[in-house]
Chain A
Amino acid sequence: MRVSELAAKESPVTSPSDAAPQYVITAENLTKRYGDVTAVDGISFRVPAGEAFGLLGPNGAGKSTTMKMIGGVSQRTSGSLSIMGLDPEQHGPEVRAHLGVVPQQDNLDEELKVRDNLLVYGRYFGLPMSYLKPKADELLEFAQLTDKAKSKVDALSGGMKRRLTIARSLINEPRILLLDEPTTGLDPQARHILWDRLFRLKEQGVTLILTTHYMDEAEQLCDRLIVVDKGKIMAEGSPASLIREYSTREVLELRFGSERNASVGAELEGIGERLETLPDRVLIYAHDGEAALEQVTARGLRPVTSLVRRSSLEDVFLRLTGRSLVD
């Protein structure tokens, strides 16, 4: 090891080890503008070590832009940002050395074999081959790709590529993992395998920062999340507390046919706590969905279909913005 590296080890730019920052990420009034477009509009949040923190919002909400600023690859327009006590704009390489990053679009090296993708990536961190070779095998095992080690990346399915990208992001044993839309475009089975892997990382104490526009993903993985729309934070809290605060326990979904959904609203007045009319269905927010349904039928209304379900983050988002998460 070189003297400069020893020095770097002993006295990092700031000293995250002995200061032991309570929060691994702190953002204050973080803003990013592209010309006239404000992608991120003064958002503030803090993430303690070991938390699974989510940014939930529709496409174009500013989630990915926020992730790029945290990842130290995009410069903010204003506000302050600190990762492990370091400003990513001044200490880009140091900040990025702490992180594992899973981008929205896979950018694996398709011309290299699966295992070589991990080795090459590890070299960017200056990691020696004596560490990388066994580590690559360990990560392939973790990503359930051991038998694909010598395949070309081209030959992998979408889910496998995603898992390889996650394995790649772990090569430097990061304590913070950034995941931008980790399961978009995957089939349900592939998503569940991925969630399971992420859950294990969480159990190991890795801080997860993830963006998603899937409410089930946010509910499954996040301890706490911010709901983002048009670059602003609409609400913040755990999935359960957000549902409690912004929705009722249950939701009654009624379909009267696309012609009648809009007009039937007046006749449903007074049932449940709140009514939401969507083009394809009517939602009645109530503590007891079955009881609400009885009231509907008692009024002589005959919906084509009816469904009682638990409230979800989708309902929270609808309440906060008047729009659905997935367009």
Chain B
Amino acid sequence: MIKATQEAGTTAAPALRAHSPEVSAARARRWGAFFYAEQVLRVMKGYGWTIVMYGVGQPVAYLFAMGVGLATLVQTNGADVFGGVSYLTFIAPALLISAAVMTAANEFTFPVMDGFKWRRVYYGPHASPLTPEQIAGGQIIAVTVRFLLQSAIYFAVVALFGASPGEWGWVSILIATLAGLSFGLPLMAYAATIKEDRGQFAMVMRFIVMPLFLFSGTFFPLDTLPLGVRWIGWISPIWHGTELGRVVSYGYEEEPWLTIVHVVFLLVLAAAGWVLSKRQFAKRMAS
């Protein structure tokens, strides 16, 4: 009797069946990049606390040191240079954008090397219905989510400091994300070509990220610099992003065509990096 009931119980339970390979393939073709993004986000959740602390801790430290400490010195020596706003308001968008770019320098380098070489994590999904292009796309989507989250926290702190007076200040969250991608995606394409780690990423940090951070009109307007180094700003996603950030956060006045140039510059760089990354992923994984 008991046995009979048990058997009835087992037959009543629906058999565990995977859907057909055709359905798997159709879903992967459509949503594959998001499936991989889900994996990257799960891994990120493991260091989620670091992301939040980075988002909160960094602006607090910088805004205090630069915006409050340094500002007392700077403002007494000539507030006009900063377009009539406080020094804190002047540097806040720059710090927000720079933080995203620095995150990009981490998220699009070491994890890519890890995927291809160190722990070869890309080769797991590569054997599934996902394509190399989707794996690249998934990584990009996940890091974009991180940019948005981190920039939103950063912006909230900036707002609490009263350093974003304009009503459109929140748009700088999107600008920071775009700046992060426009710097990060070409870097990702480069990272995907590296077969041996000979400290290339440390060089990128020292000789590309740091100069861009210092000479992108971050702490002082770009036109106070001599022409010899001003070009660094012109080719820098940090400068283009920062100028846009200033426009939305306190209504910084610049020529409208220049605003368009900033947007186009960031979009073109991000799009080119996206295409090159996907192409490089496909090339490297097909061999």
Q: Which residues does A use to contact B, with CB under 8 Å? A: 1-2, 4-5, 8-9, 12, 34, 71, 73-75, 84, 91-94, 96-99, 101, 103, 105, 107-112, 116, 120-121, 123-127, 131, 134-135, 138, 168, 171-174
Of B17, B125, B130, B285, which is within 8 A of A173 by CB? B17
Partner of B27, one of A5, A12, A98, A112: A5
User: Are B18 and A172 touching (Cβ within 8 A)?
Assistant: yes
**B130/A127 in contact, CB under 8 A:** no
Determine which of A91, A134, A135, A172 lies in contact with B24 in the assembled complex, contact meaning CB atoms within 8 Å: A172
Task: Give complex CA distance A84, B62 in Å.
Answer: 60
Judging by beta carbons under 8 Å apart, are B128 and A121 in contact?
yes
Q: Is B4 an interface residue (CB 8 A)?
A: no
CB of B25 within 8 A of CB of A8, answer yes
Q: Are A8 and B22 in contact (CB under 8 A)?
A: yes
* CB-defined contacts of B122 to chain A, threshold 8 Å: 107
Q: Are B28 and A125 in contact (CB under 8 A)?
A: yes
- On whether the beta carbons of A135 and B30 are closer than 8 Å, the reply is no
Q: Which of A9, A108, A124, A135 contacts B129 (CB 8 A)?
A: A124
Which one of B36-44, B50-58, B222-230, B265-273 is at the interface?
B36-44
Ranked nearest first, the 5 interchain pairs of A and B with the lowest CB-CB distance are: A126-B27, A124-B128, A97-B21, A101-B127, A97-B24
On chain B, which size bracket covers the interface? 35 or more
A217 to B4, CA, bound (A): 43
| Supplied contacts A5-B27, A74-B287, A126-B27, 10 more A-B pairs, CB within 8 Å | A4-B26, A93-B130, A97-B21, A98-B21, A107-B122, A107-B123, A109-B124, A111-B43, A124-B128, A126-B28
- B16 CB within 8 Å of chain A: yes
Contacts of B121 in A (CB 8 A): 107, 109
Contacts of A12 in B (CB 8 A): 22
Which residues on B are within 8 Å of A, measured CB to CB?
Answer: 16-32, 35-36, 38-39, 42-43, 46, 119-131, 285-287
Asked if A99 and B127 sit within 8 Å, CB to CB, the answer is yes
Q: Is B286 a contact partner of A135 (Cβ separation < 8 A)? A: no
Minimum CB–CB distance for A194 against chain B, Å:
19
Picked from A108, A109, A123, the residue with its CB within 8 Å of the CB of B38 is: A123
Given A93-B28, A107-B121, A120:B39 Cβ within 8 A: yes
Contact of A9 (CB < 8 Å), options: B23, B36, B43: B23
A1 to B36: give the CA distance in the assembly, Å: 21
Is A127's CB under 8 angstroms from B22's CB?
no
Q: Is the CB of A73 within 8 A of B22?
A: no
Most chain-A Cβ atoms within 10 A of its Cβ — which of B24, B35, B39? B24
- Check A93–B131 contact: CB distance below 8 A: yes
Q: Which of A34, A75, A97 contacts B28 (CB 8 A)?
A: A97
Question: In the complex, what residues of A have CB within 8 A of residue B30's CB?
Answer: 2, 4
Min Cβ gap B251→A in Å is 44
Q: Do residues B39 and A93 form an inter-chain contact, with CB atoms below 8 A? A: no
List of A residues within 8 angstroms of B24 by Cβ: 97, 125-127, 172
Residue of B nearest to A126 (CB): B27
Report the nearest A residue to B123, measured CB to CB. A107
Q: Which of A5, A101, A109 contacts B39 (CB 8 A)?
A: A109
Q: List 19 A-B contacts (CB under 8 A).
A: A73-B126, A73-B285, A84-B21, A93-B28, A93-B129, A97-B22, A97-B25, A98-B21, A103-B123, A103-B127, A116-B42, A121-B124, A125-B27, A126-B28, A126-B31, A126-B35, A131-B19, A134-B16, A173-B17
A123–B46 contact, CB under 8 A?
A: no
* Beta-carbon nearest neighbor of B120 in chain A: A107
